[in-house]
A and B are shown apart, each in its own frame.
Chain A
Amino acid sequence: MITKRIDFKKNSVQALANPKLKKALVNFTDRSRASRKKAVSEISEWEDLRLEARRIKEQVIKDLDSYLLELEESITRVGGKVHWAKDAEEASKIVATIAKENNVRNVVKSKSMATEEIELNKYLISRGINTVETDLGEYIVQLCNDHPFHIITPAIHKTKEDISKLFSEKFGVPEYEEPQKLANIARKELREKFLSADMGISGVNFAVAETGTIAIVENEGNARLATTYPDIHVAIMGIEKIVPKFEQLSIFLSLLARSATGQKSSTYVSLITGPRREGERDGPRQFHLVFLDNGRSQIAKSEETKESLYCIRCGACINICPIYRQVGGHSYGWVYSGPIGAVITPQLNDLNKTADLPFVSSLCGACRDVCPVKIDFPHVFLSLRQKIIEQAREKPNPREFMEKIAFWIWGTVFSKPFYYNFMGKIMFFLQCFYRKDNELQRLPYPFSKWTRDKNFPAFSKNPFRERWKKKYQVKGKAPR
């Protein structure tokens, strides 16, 4: 939960001042865009898959309650237990209680944005339960006491050199340069953790209502190990992750892998249906599934923005976003970044504290074009902006008040041709203090924000409407 207002401007200015970060972002976004593009072009039915996935998601969010009940029934049938959590606190408490009841000391975690959202690690560690991230990127982030920079690739802001230094500090090894050696160190450290763990925590990519199967997608094998080796498996899912039918999974698995990493399929796709059954020799003895609401059921009720819940967390919108490419993940102030962060963070938190985010878009629409479930991001941004402005109307801060006045004047002037013409003349005279070579190079606040970096065009002495009247109107058409 966000407690302090997210100041995107401050965060982004800080990020922009870091040239090393910019280089990493350009490299990363170039690579991921290219691999996605290639993977998508390989299958001719891509558009059909997107449409079908969107249709399924619309259906799920529309009847979310009944699908959740169906999923609970299926999970219970296969020997698992479902827990309903209305918010972060409740979800964390559920996990801690399961741990306490089973005398759990060591937990291994696979990557999960839902657990980042509820800050589960902090909660468990503060209660004396050792909790270790096992996805390499998340492990690095945890070692530095940092936050994920991206929902799929959490440590892209760290260079090879950063990691080499970090491992050397933490594990007393030399500062290796080769990535392979660094990976081996992490592997060795993590192997110990897996072997001593008595509980594994995972997220959920998709949960099939009819069978009670959860699907977990990954590339390192750590999620498979974390969900099979320890005696207890606790999975945490945002309630929107449901897929009604087992056969529909293939659509989503294909969309996710190609959109996220440009793979045909992720290296590991684990389909887990309940705990170890009688006569089976391995697998966890207990399987718990936590349904995390944390504001989602409210989003589902909003006609205008409920499509935010169709998201399958592939990160394609982040990778294509020209703004993320400049400022990276931490500027967005919470666990979700890029366009998807800018639309769901304000909806899962206090809108007043997150009101910067829906304005962090030039409405270019690149995110909408790549989204595998066709979320109309500009539409959601526009609805949230309207909501923010209308809320702020009642008790505006000074900046909002100024903006309100400015748009009131604008609306009055631009809806009356007489005022509009008159404004053109006034502006032409007012600008004479600033004009140079028919451009404006230094304007007063707030336009100074523009003229600090670039010139602004001058109001023309003869705007088009005047030229038309003088030169062309008589003849009714322009000269050849």
Chain B
Amino acid sequence: MVMGSLEKGERIHLFISCLVDNFFPEVGEAILRVFSNIGLEIEFPKDQTCCGQPAFNSGHRKEAYKVACHFLDVFDKKNGAIVCPSGSCVSMVKNYYAELFRNDPEKLSRVEKISSNIYEFSEFVFQKKESLNLNSAYRGKVTFHDSCHALRELGISSQPRELIKSLRGIELVEMDMADACCGFGGTFSIKYPEVSKSMLQEKTDSIINSGADAVVSTDMGCLMNIKGLVSRKKLPVKVFHLAELIAFEYPK
């Protein structure tokens, strides 16, 4: 299915990702606001859990396989686009499922279908920009952090920036080395916390030095990491998922 052919009122399937589901449900709600604002009907397959990436990236293929099979069962009967607010999960499905299921031809054909049908949030919304309400209630300067997998495995770089620039009352300022890893890397941050912290320190320095009052990205993995240091050190910067910025509302 060509993404641009989605008509108003057409259904999309939301893969929320385990981080948003458990830790950042407000990001999920912001995504719902963005989608319904565009006029999309949303389905949330209720049995979804995770794509399997944490185990896959740590070398535990057996467990990754188990969880990825569940993902296939939940999503592969769906017609219409699957959208996920994390480039890293999308890349797992698009780029690594083929490797995980390489000895399993039956599953591989299911993977192929899903891979051509799954989109990262910002690339999807960018395609629908014409129908998007650009009146975010947020005012100020923001800077954008490229999440590694969205940037390098899905080629997403201009779309989120264009979206931010088109929001009224918001200025985008680039930080130094916006494309440098924040140091998260899943279990890497637990295996080598000292190195991870040093990378993160550089990232938050870049954010602060950009003069922005908020940092925006498209992956809650990176944002969880960045937010972790920002709140520990009480740094003067807010941390948003792109969806939260687009659908920003003042607290009621």
A and B co-occur in one complex: yes
Residues of A in contact with B (beta carbons under 8 Å apart): 8-9, 12-13, 16, 322-323, 325-327, 359-366, 368-369, 379, 382, 385-390, 403-404, 407-408, 410-412, 414-417, 420, 424, 427, 439, 441, 446-447, 449-450, 452-460, 462-469, 472-473, 476-480
Number of interface residues of B (CB under 8 A): 76
Set of chain B residues within 8 Å of A408, measured between Cβ atoms: 63
The verdict on A457 contacting B23 (CB below 8 Å), with A410-B63, A479-B36 known, is yes
Set of chain B residues within 8 Å of A410, measured between Cβ atoms: 54-55, 63, 67
In the complex, the answer to whether B192 meets A8 with C-beta atoms within 8 Å is: yes
In the complex, the answer to whether B193 meets A452 with C-beta atoms within 8 Å is: yes
- Tell yes or no: B139 within 8 A of A by CB: no
The verdict on A365 contacting B148 (CB below 8 Å), with A8-B192, A411-B66, A463-B25 known, is yes
In the complex, the answer to whether A322 meets B232 with C-beta atoms within 8 Å is: no
Q: Which 3 A-B pairs have the closest CB atoms?
A: A362-B185, A411-B63, A454-B228
The verdict on A368 contacting B152 (CB below 8 Å), with A454-B197, A455-B228 known, is yes
The verdict on A462 contacting B25 (CB below 8 Å), with A368-B152, A450-B190, A476-B41 known, is yes
In the complex, the answer to whether A417 meets B49 with C-beta atoms within 8 Å is: yes
In the complex, the answer to whether A12 meets B194 with C-beta atoms within 8 Å is: yes
- Tell yes or no: B70 within 8 A of A by CB: yes
In the complex, the answer to whether A382 meets B231 with C-beta atoms within 8 Å is: no
* Assembly CA distance A169 to B168 (angstroms): 65
- A364 to chain B minimum Cβ distance, whole angstroms, is 4
In the complex, the answer to whether B188 meets A361 with C-beta atoms within 8 Å is: yes
Residues of B in contact with A (beta carbons under 8 Å apart): 16, 18, 20-25, 28-29, 32-33, 35-37, 40-44, 46-50, 52, 54-64, 66-67, 69-70, 96, 99, 148-149, 152-153, 179-181, 183-200, 202, 224-225, 227-229, 231-232
In the complex, the answer to whether B183 meets A467 with C-beta atoms within 8 Å is: no
Q: Which residue in chain B gives the minimum CB-CB distance to A476?
A: B41
Set of chain B residues within 8 Å of A414, measured between Cβ atoms: 18, 49-50, 52, 66-67, 70
In the complex, the answer to whether A407 meets B55 with C-beta atoms within 8 Å is: yes
The verdict on A453 contacting B232 (CB below 8 Å), with A364-B148, A414-B49 known, is yes
The verdict on A454 contacting B232 (CB below 8 Å), with A327-B195, A364-B152, A407-B63 known, is yes
Set of chain A residues within 8 Å of B22, measured between Cβ atoms: 424, 427, 459-460, 463-464
Question: Which of A361, A415, A468, A472 has a CB less than 8 Å from the CB of B49?
Answer: A415
The verdict on A365 contacting B152 (CB below 8 Å), with A450-B189, A480-B37 known, is yes
In the complex, the answer to whether B188 meets A385 with C-beta atoms within 8 Å is: no
Set of chain A residues within 8 Å of B61, measured between Cβ atoms: 386, 389-390
Set of chain A residues within 8 Å of B32, measured between Cβ atoms: 472, 477-478
In the complex, the answer to whether A458 meets B190 with C-beta atoms within 8 Å is: no
- B239 to chain A minimum Cβ distance, whole angstroms, is 11
- A380 to chain B minimum Cβ distance, whole angstroms, is 12
The verdict on A459 contacting B194 (CB below 8 Å), with A468-B46, A477-B42 known, is no
Set of chain A residues within 8 Å of B54, measured between Cβ atoms: 410
* Assembly CA distance A311 to B74 (angstroms): 41
- A329 to chain B minimum Cβ distance, whole angstroms, is 14
